[in-house]
Amino acid sequence: MWQSSAIDCNNLVASDSFSPAQPLSCGQNHMEMWGSTGYTDSGHWCSRAAKILPESPGWVCFPEVLVPLRVNHAGDVECMSDNRRDCFWQQSFSDCQRLADNAPLGLIPLVCGSAHNTEYGGTGYDTPGHWCQMGAIFYGLGK
């Protein structure tokens, strides 16, 4: 809920009638709701937040997805890659975790959502069992 000042915002949150709304997120979710990711306008809160917030803490492997994943500042799942196209798939969970713990330099991740759609013709979130969808479920992103 938009408030015209920080004082009004704090008063609303402190009030007994306040109940949190569904959070607004940047990236693919923002694109679906508002027609833009929020990152293209330098004055937009998504763009401003992306400049100051860190990436997700690190790469993580899940037993069902044998490629290191993380969530980027846009709120999209991405897989470890060096070319924005091919994920670094591993043969076992232990191999995946070892790679996640020792990420190489020069990574250029493949990002789910609009970037994945441009490359492959689908966001990845909309395909059952796809690593993008599985990652979104694991991270609780609701995509």
Above 80 in pLDDT, residue 96? yes
> Each residue of 59-94: pLDDT tens digit?
999 989 999 999 998 889 999 999 999 999 999 999
What local confidence, expressed as pLDDT, does residue 18 receive? 65
Give the pTM.
Answer: 0.63
Per-residue DSSP letters for 73-113? Answer: TTS-EEE-BSSSS-B---SSHHHHHHHHHTPPSS---EETT
Q: What is the pLDDT of residue 40?
A: 74
The per-residue pLDDT for range 4-63, each reduced to its tens digit, is 787 877 777 677 776 666 666 676 667 777 887 777 788 888 778 777 766 556 899 998
For the purposes of burial, counting CB atoms within 10 Å of the CB of 10, is it exposed (0-12), middle (13-18) or buried (19 or more)? Answer: exposed
- Give residue limits of the domains in the chain: 60-139
pLDDT of residue 69: 97
